[in-house]
Amino acid sequence: GAGVSQSPSNKVTEKGKDVELRCDPISGHTALYWYRQRLGQGLEFLIYFQGNSAPDKSGLPSDRFSAERTGESVSTLTIQRTQQEDSAVYLCASSPDRESYGYTFGSGTRLTVV
Amino acid sequence: LAKTTQPISMDSYEGQEVNITCSHNNIATNDYITWYQQFPSQGPRFIIQGYKTKVTNEVASLFIPADRKSSTLSLPRVSLSDTAVYYCLGTGGLDYKLSFGAGTTVTVRA
């Protein structure tokens, strides 16, 4: 598509439930990133995918967080047993390759855990 | 990654030039300076990148002095729609983990 698409745009869930967030990168972009942004704060790196290489999961805050990507297409970020501190905007970005800093971000998924 | 420091907020009026200075004293030789803009409820948007001297595009200009310890993003003749958060990042080599701080909130008033 023309840009990075994320769904849902908003998600309200009860504490303890699992949620799945989806990211459709720009076609042909081999690199895909997930970031988390808490209210009024900067972006926090979560995970990075590059082609068929093993993902860099070093930013995932706990083992409740996981992400998958099929080839160079869609990625899903899953948060299990959500907690209130997971409330944030989850942003996905893609770029043509790992050395390209012209990232294109999606509009994010606003997650609210109640 | 280079650590960057920038003002928390800046206020301006329509038609004025806004200059945001970012400090990056420990920038590495192969680091670039990259600026992103973020509007409410949107992801950040790449606006400009430079290594040294001056870079200009349709959105902004970026001035980087010879010592590269700081840089200035210049937004000419701002409008209300330029109200956003602006992030300065040091980006280099194969380090893809962009480090976004709190950024500078620019508020443009009529």
pLDDT of residue A1: 53
Q: What are the helix (H) ranges across chain A?
A: none
Residue A43: list chain B partners with CB under 8 A. 44, 98, 100
Q: For A52-66, A88-102, B8-22, B61-75, which range has the lowest pLDDT when averaged over its residues?
A: A88-102
Residue B81, φ and ψ in degrees, nearest 5: -75, -5
CB of B96 closer than 8 Å to CB of A33: yes
Confidence class for position B90, pLDDT limits 50, 70, 90 = confident
Q: Hey, what long-range contacts does A1-6 have (CB within 8 A, 24 or more apart)?
A: A1/A26, A1/A27, A2/A26, A3/A104, A3/A106, A4/A92, A4/A93, A4/A94, A4/A104, A4/A105, A4/A106, A4/B43, A5/A106, A6/A90, A6/A91, A6/A92, A6/A106, A6/A107, A6/A108, A6/A109
Which of A42, A43, A102 faces B46 most closely, judged by CB atoms? A102
The pLDDT of residue A51 is above 90: no
Which of A41, A56, A105 faces B44 most closely, judged by CB atoms? A105
The pLDDT of residue B97 is above 80: no
pLDDT of residue B25: 85
pLDDT of residue A2: 78
pLDDT per residue as tens digits for the range B36-47: 999 988 999 999
Confidence class for position A6, pLDDT limits 50, 70, 90 = very high
Which of A31, A42, A93 faces B43 most closely, judged by CB atoms? A93
Looking at the complex, does the CB of residue B101 fall below 8 Å from at least one CB of chain A?
A: yes
Which of B32, B96, B103 faces A42 most closely, judged by CB atoms? B103
Domain range for residue B81? 9-95+102-109
**A103·B98 Cβ contact <8 A:** yes
Confidence class for position B28, pLDDT limits 50, 70, 90 = confident
**Structure-block tokens of residue A95:** 């770029």
Residue B46: list chain A partners with CB under 8 A. 101-104
Q: How many domains does chain B have?
A: 1
pLDDT of residue A85: 96
Q: Residue A28 corresponds to which amino acid?
A: G
Name which residue leads in pLDDT, B93 or B48. Answer: B48
Q: Number of CB pairs < 8 Å for A and B? A: 56
Helix or strand or coil: residue B2?
A: coil
Kindly provide the residue ranges of all beta strands, DSSP E only, lying in chain A, ordered along the sequence: 5-7, 10-13, 19-24, 31-37, 43-50, 65-69, 75-79, 88-95, 104-105, 109-113
Residues 9-28 of B with CB under 8 A from A: none
**In angstroms, rounded to a whole number, what is the distance separating the alpha carbons of residues A93 and B34?**
16
pLDDT of residue B96: 67
pLDDT of residue B2: 62
Q: Where are the domains of chain A?
A: 5-98+106-113
Q: Is residue B3 a part of any domain in this protein?
A: no
Output the CATH code of domain A5-98+106-113.
2.60.40.10
Q: What is the DSSP string of A42-71?
A: -EEEEEEEETTSPPB-TT--STTEEEEE-T
> In chain B, pLDDT over 90 holds for what percent of residues?
68
Q: Is residue B86 a part of any domain in this protein?
A: yes
Helix or strand or coil: residue B51?
A: coil
Residues 23-82 of A with CB under 8 A from B: 31, 33, 35, 40-43, 45, 48, 50, 56, 59
Name which residue leads in pLDDT, A113 or A71. Answer: A113
CATH of the domain at B80: 2.60.40.10
**Structure-block tokens of residue A71:** 């080839």
Query: From the centroid of its chain, how far is CA A53?
Result: 17
The pLDDT of residue B109 is above 90: yes
Residue A37, φ and ψ in degrees, nearest 5: -130, 115
Mean pLDDT for chain B overall? 90
The pLDDT of residue B95 is above 80: no
